[in-house]
Structure 1
Amino acid sequence: MEFRYLPMTDDDKKSMLDTIGVQSTNELFSDIPKEIRFQGDLQLKKPANEADLKKELTNMANKNANLKEYSSFLGAGVYDHFIPSVVDHVISRSEFYTAYTPYQPEISQGELQAIFEFQTMISELTGMPVANSSMYDGGTSLAEAVNLSAAQTKRKKILVSKAIHPESRAVIESYAKGPNLDIVEIDHLNGQTDLEQLEKEIDDNTASVVLQYPNFFGQIEALDKVNALVKNQKKTMFIVSSNPLALGYLTPPGDFGADIVVGDSQVFGIPAQFGGPHCGYFATTEKLMRKVPGRLVGQTKDEDGVRGFVLTLQAREQHIRRDKATSNICSNQALNALASSVAMTSIGKHGLKKMAALNMQKARYAKKKLEEANLPVVFEGVFFNEIVVNLSKSVSEINERLLEKGIIGGYDLEHYYPELKGHMLVAVTEIRSKEEIDAFVKELGDIHG
């Protein structure tokens, strides 16, 4: 009888060693010189039985601050938003939860339709005619867009705003090493991209200009002005990384002439869950449809004229010659894309606009209360749901004290922006109540003095 998923017994171990003709596990490492091999025992705890192990893990888990018990004002790319309960019910169904890439459309219509709906809703939000069937996260989507622009224009210079999420900029730098792209960062001025510097840097060697909307500081960039600069240069492409929830209220980047719009759909149906996994989206023009990384799901009809869905335009290396591939993306975030699809469908078109408006309204209430408490909010431009507060003190120390009060504070901008030492990036989403905002401002004021 075969016992799977059970611990390996000593007899099992001896049987395997006898089969391959060695006396001990150590013999398997005989090719590694002894002087660089670890000698002795690892400093691990003694094995525990299942009941004791559960108790220990539960005690460890209870030390974590969680979003069910704490009010969070931390954003910076991962947000605490309302998730309809139907999301977990749908994605927990085994036909979705365990599904692999739907290569066989005759048995994958549910999965394919769900992904098709995701593409459709992303297309509507971004104002772009084409969207793919998801990617790993917003950062990799953005880096893929940069590489696409370089391949399409045959140019190497990429202008990247410093008001883009710092981690996304790091991913761009990593992706750019292969094709030897020249990444030129454009400074931010009062929380928005410095358009004068951008105008000086853009030239006929520029493959693309890359912005975030709303940007990392929560500010809403002037995409119309940037597009005017971009379109003065033939072939240069305009790439926008955008929070799709904000697009429920703001004018979509497609209306401002963007060539590629990317972002992260974590804001729809995906919990914070320690920073991942997420779900990236990638939307573009029809002209670039065949250059899109990953794959698309298309709608068609079967031989009986019944509507059906199939994978199409799979331009990755698994399907076509390696040198002709647009990307090496070998998997998408189908389950998280499904979660976003279910969330967007449940919230609905009008609900999504209301949800975005609530983010804006509550963030403005927080700004007003902070200023009344003599906690200066910097960057006076139009913003979505994040603001920057100048505390003139150690943000990490302030956050530790807030945590003692059951509040998760904002992001310490000094990590990536040394010039913003003592500045906290505060996110206010639709689920933050008036009482929670007031308590946050009061505690922050008391700590700040």
Structure 2
Amino acid sequence: MRYLPLTTDDRRQMLHAVGAESIDDLFVDVPEAARLSGPIEGLPMHASEMAVERHMSALARRNLVAGEVPFFLGAGAYRHHVPASVDHLIQRGEYLTAYTPYQPEIAQGTLQMLFEFQTQVARLFGCDVANASMYDGSTACWEAISMAGRVTRRKRAVLSSGLHPHYVSVARTMAKFTGDTLDTAAPELNAMTDGERLLAAINGETSCVVVQYPDILGRIADLSAVAARAHEHGALLIAVVTEPVALGAIKSPGEMGADIVVGEGQSLGVGLQFGGPYVGLFACKDKYVRQMPGRLCGETVDAEGKRGFVLTLSTREQHIRREKATSNICTNSGLCALAFSIHVTLLGEAGLRTLASINHDGAVRAAERLGKVPGVRVVNDSFFNEFVVELPVEARPVVRTLADRGILAGVSLGRLYPGEESLANGLLVAVTETTTADDIDALAEALEEVLA
């Protein structure tokens, strides 16, 4: 039996208090096309458990399994090999059942794990301090923009054209409610990043400049000049890292002057999982720590002088007055953060550098092989494990054709940037340690056939 504690009159009073005529008024921000007006067409009103299992299994068989076919998808979610020990350890009861430390000091194991996670993220990003995880990379990006606004007391953010369009979309959604202005642009299909545009756009009204590193087209730029210009005008530099494995091979954003570094931690320890749950990473310079959202675990000593861990600088709306809060995060991605931390620990610094080298070497081989396909042009002159090729035809139909042949060829830029005709022929290709030489040959040979 459903538990319905509210009477019709209760609901009427609640709707009146918020100025709504009906419950439907609460969903006006959801596009009408995405709202259900009745039962889902094609689904029976009821079915037996066995019938549902059989039907769902049949639907699942229509998917191409990432580990069973040549796989070149990336664009912010990457297929890496996750050691079996990661899953074994996070399945332990004391971790799997842990939700969030509302009475934190009695959960010393959870706090120590989060403290280690923070240390790893801070070192990886080249920052002074990191928090105990965010929801995912896109929301971490927005939280950084919001934090920069609090620090600078400004409302104008300049976003690089190389920032993932889904991250831009999340920022736009949130900015509608905060009054922030976002200076955005679509990328151009060439090897150059938009550093000159960013330098020209920074002024005395700018709260922050947001750059992705490597960017959505896989390009790698030196962030030092943008950081210097931002600081000249009292603005902050926010760097977004969607592929943290890259930091085993390239200089960290913090070393180049980034004030806040955020990103997606899915690459390490967390599977693709159809898009989530993932784990957002967030780090910054020490002087901004009091404006940092989320949880922060600190190390201390107890009354007997023994090492211990605590939650510190709690700034959520549950701890202080809502209007003073720097975060509305009511939980964290604790289990995914643990998976990330275990994977990083198993790798160690030397292992991460080796993994990054393997990724880059594979991507170089793939770029060289695809560049020999008639009509295909490799756009990048710098990349880590992801790059763009320009096809002589629109990429989306090619991707679908190759998927029918059992090859997941990459992400078409037309899918990421619908309506941008100048990007329609672009194909974003990602290569990791899971990509074999045979996979690369299969993709190249299939492209040659399809484009002939």
> TM-score, normalising length from structure 1?
0.88
Q: Provide the C-alpha distance between the structure 2 equivalents of 1:181 and 1:100, rounded to a whole number of angstroms.
A: 33
Structure with max Cα Rg: 1
Q: Give 2:291's aligned residue.
A: 291
Residues 268-312 of structure 1 show CA distances to partners (whole Å, capped at 9, x for unaligned) of: 111111111110011001111111001101111122222211111
Change (3 A) 1:402 1:188: closer
Structure 1 segment 7-46 matched on structure 2, within 5 A: 44-45=43-44
Residues 194-226 of structure 1 show CA distances to partners (whole Å, capped at 9, x for unaligned) of: 233222221111111110000000100221222
C-alpha contact 1:186 1:198 (8 A) present in aligned 2: no
Could you tell me how far 1:108 is from its partner in structure 2? 0.9
Q: Give 1:63's aligned residue.
A: 62
C-alpha contact 1:133 1:294 (8 A) present in aligned 2: yes
Structure 2 residue 52 is matched with structure 1 residue 49:
no
Structure 2 residue 221 is matched with structure 1 residue 221:
yes
Q: Give 1:179's aligned residue.
A: 178
Structure 1 segment 64-143 matched on structure 2, within 5 A: 64-143=63-142
Q: Which blocks of at least 5 consecutive residues in structure 1 are unaligned?
A: 1-7, 23-30
SS at match of 2:315: coil
Structure 2 residue 244 is matched with structure 1 residue 244:
yes
C-alpha contact 2:371 2:378 (8 A) present in aligned 1: no
For 2:439, which of 436, 441, 446 is the aligned residue? 436
Could you tell me how far 1:396 is from its partner in structure 2? 2.4
C-alpha contact 2:218 2:380 (8 A) present in aligned 1: no
> TM-score, normalising length from structure 2?
0.88
Residues 308-356 of structure 1 show CA distances to partners (whole Å, capped at 9, x for unaligned) of: 1111111111111111111211111111111111111112211111111
Change (3 A) 1:51 1:317: same
SS at match of 1:316: coil
C-alpha contact 1:159 1:186 (8 A) present in aligned 2: no
Q: Provide the C-alpha distance between the structure 2 equivalents of 1:139 and 1:184, rounded to a whole number of angstroms.
A: 17
SS at match of 1:45: coil
Structure 2 residue 267 is matched with structure 1 residue 267:
yes
Residues 55-97 of structure 1 show CA distances to partners (whole Å, capped at 9, x for unaligned) of: 2222221111111212210101111111011111111122211
Q: Which amino acid aligns with 2:291?
A: K
C-alpha contact 1:159 1:183 (8 A) present in aligned 2: yes
Structure 2 residue 150 is matched with structure 1 residue 151:
yes
Could you tell me how far 1:38 is from its partner in structure 2? 8.2
Length, aligned pairs only:
423
Could you tell me how far 1:101 is from its partner in structure 2? 1.1
Structure 1 segment 155-174 matched on structure 2, within 5 A: 155-174=154-173
Q: Give 1:4's aligned residue.
A: none
C-alpha contact 1:187 1:194 (8 A) present in aligned 2: no
Could you tell me how far 1:381 is from its partner in structure 2? 2.9
Q: Provide the C-alpha distance between the structure 2 equivalents of 1:264 and 1:227, rounded to a whole number of angstroms.
A: 22
SS at match of 1:239: strand
Change (3 A) 1:447 1:296: same
Q: Give 1:26's aligned residue.
A: none
Could you tell me how far 1:178 is from its partner in structure 2? 2.5
SS at match of 1:304: coil
Could you tell me how far 1:374 is from its partner in structure 2? 2.6
C-alpha contact 1:377 1:389 (8 A) present in aligned 2: yes
Change (3 A) 1:391 1:40: closer
Q: Provide the C-alpha distance between the structure 2 equivalents of 1:222 and 1:294, rounded to a whole number of angstroms.
A: 29
SS at match of 2:178: coil
C-alpha contact 2:370 2:378 (8 A) present in aligned 1: no
Q: Provide the C-alpha distance between the structure 2 equivalents of 1:293 and 1:40, rounded to a whole number of angstroms.
A: 39
Worse overlay, 303-312 or 339-348: 303-312
Q: Which amino acid aligns with 2:88?
A: H
C-alpha contact 1:186 1:194 (8 A) present in aligned 2: no
C-alpha contact 2:134 2:280 (8 A) present in aligned 1: yes
Change (3 A) 1:254 1:55: same
Change (3 A) 1:67 1:308: same
C-alpha contact 1:392 1:421 (8 A) present in aligned 2: no
Worse overlay, 375-384 or 335-344: 375-384
Q: Which amino acid aligns with 1:136?
A: Y
C-alpha contact 1:377 1:387 (8 A) present in aligned 2: no
What is the root-mean-square deviation of aligned Cα atoms in Å?
2.6
Q: Which amino acid aligns with 1:413?
A: L
Q: Which amino acid aligns with 1:436?
A: D
C-alpha contact 1:217 1:388 (8 A) present in aligned 2: yes
Q: Give 1:253's aligned residue.
A: 253
Q: Provide the C-alpha distance between the structure 2 equivalents of 1:321 and 1:66, rounded to a whole number of angstroms.
A: 47
